[in-house]
Structure 1
Amino acid sequence: MSAAPTEIRLRRAEQALEVAFPDGARYRLPAEYLRVESPSAEVQGHGPGQKVIVAGRRHVGILRVEPVGNYAVRIVFDDLHDTGIYAWAYLRTLGVEQEARWSTYLAELGARGLSREPPRRA
């Protein structure tokens, strides 16, 4: 189990969550990144190899961050996704692996002909 963050700050204008840990590690996690890496079954699936590539979330924002016990937070996004429980260890992993995960995500979008931009409405 990972240590609880010393600070979690929602930066609405920047569409990001800042998370600081007791060892001094500090991460700025954009809302789009948090949304496409949601730990929810809707995104991660129910087993290995079932992860869904979530496209069209470039402008997603965070409505609120809610505590879940002493081990996690639930993030409510403005696209109304709210089923992911972000445990402290997962938030740290997202910070540590941000560059690699983001590169993989962008490559997957490209390989599938998808875009970060939301679909245009008719």
Structure 2
Amino acid sequence: MTAATITPEQIRVTPDRRTLVVVLPGGERIELTAEMLRVMSPSAEVQGHSPAQRQTVGGKIDVEIIDIQPVGNYAIRIMFDDMHSSGIFTWTYLADLGREKDERWQVYLDELKAKGLKRER
């Protein structure tokens, strides 16, 4: 699937600012929590410049989305209330997060536990 074929029909933040709702062509609806988006941000700050540099980010259970800005016609930049805003979330990345949400979340929880980190601040 190319970015053009998965360009969202709708992107919105829920009133509590804790969930991003993405509606893909054909009506597929993806709901991603602000916490998940923040800790899995595609930014260099989180992902590093190589797999060895990737960071496990804890303490973001209460993070909220405060702004969304379009990036060209292929992505959005999300600003969180902790002022993180350097990740560019492509349509493909958002779709992958939505489709692999449970598996990716479990890997994250396992990493937190292994590193002695918590979701809470």
TM-score higher than 0.5: yes
Q: Distance in 1 between matches of 2:44 and 2:31?
A: 24
SS at 2:92's partner residue? helix
Q: 3-state DSSP class of the match of 1:23?
A: helix
What is the Cα deviation at residue 17 of structure 1?
Answer: 0.2
1:74 Cα deviation from its structure 2 partner? 0.2
Percent sequence identity is: 51
What's the Cα RMSD here? Answer: 1.0
1:80-95 to 2 correspondences below 5 Å? 80-95=83-98
Structure with the higher helix share, 1 or 2: 2
Question: Helix, strand or coil: the match of 1:57?
Answer: coil
TM-score normalised according to structure 2 size? 0.94
Q: 1:14 Cα deviation (Å)?
A: 5.4
Secondary structure (helix, strand or coil) at the match of 2:98 reads helix
Q: Write the deviation string for residues 29-68 of structure 1: whole angstroms up to 9, x where unpaired.
A: 0000000000000000101232100000000000011111
Q: What runs of 5+ residues in structure 2 fail to find an aligned partner? A: none
* 2:59 corresponds to: 56
- How many matched pairs? 118
1:1-122 matches, cutoff 5 A? 1-2=2-3, 3-13=6-16, 15-118=18-121
Q: Unpaired runs of 5+ in structure 1? A: none
TM-score by length of 1: 0.93
Q: Secondary structure at the match of 2:97?
A: helix
